[in-house]
Structure 1
Amino acid sequence: MKSPARTPKGSTRMTSTPSRSEISRVLSHALRHAPGEYGLVLDPEGWAPLSEVLGALHRLGPKWEGSP
């Protein structure tokens, strides 16, 4: 069973629209360094379902939910 989704430890909820570099930085952190902090479970090859990755971003705050 997966652990409940949460905002990563030490992070703050986003209140402004993230830049492309910020999106890249957060994705790198979530997928390379701390998937568990984002509620992600990677398969043996290091992949996670896109829906789960997007859900992790959306939990960072409302500005991560929409498109530019």
Structure 2
Amino acid sequence: MASETGKAQYKPRSICECIHARWRNWNLRQLPVRGIEKVRAVVLCYALTNNILQGHRLANG
């Protein structure tokens, strides 16, 4: 990861891994539902919660 190419490839992954780590801390390791529509609903709820908390952190400095 010392090269510029490696850093450029890792940057999008680092953003995604941060969100995944946060979800793991919220105990979302295995989805408690079955079916694509229910999975989508659960993931959207977690994403919405993440966005609200991130906005709150940014607003409060």
State whether TM-score is above 0.5: no
Q: Which has the larger share of helix? A: 2
TM-score by length of 2: 0.36
Q: Larger relative contact order (C-alpha < 8 A, sep ≥ 6)? A: 1
TM-score by length of 1: 0.34
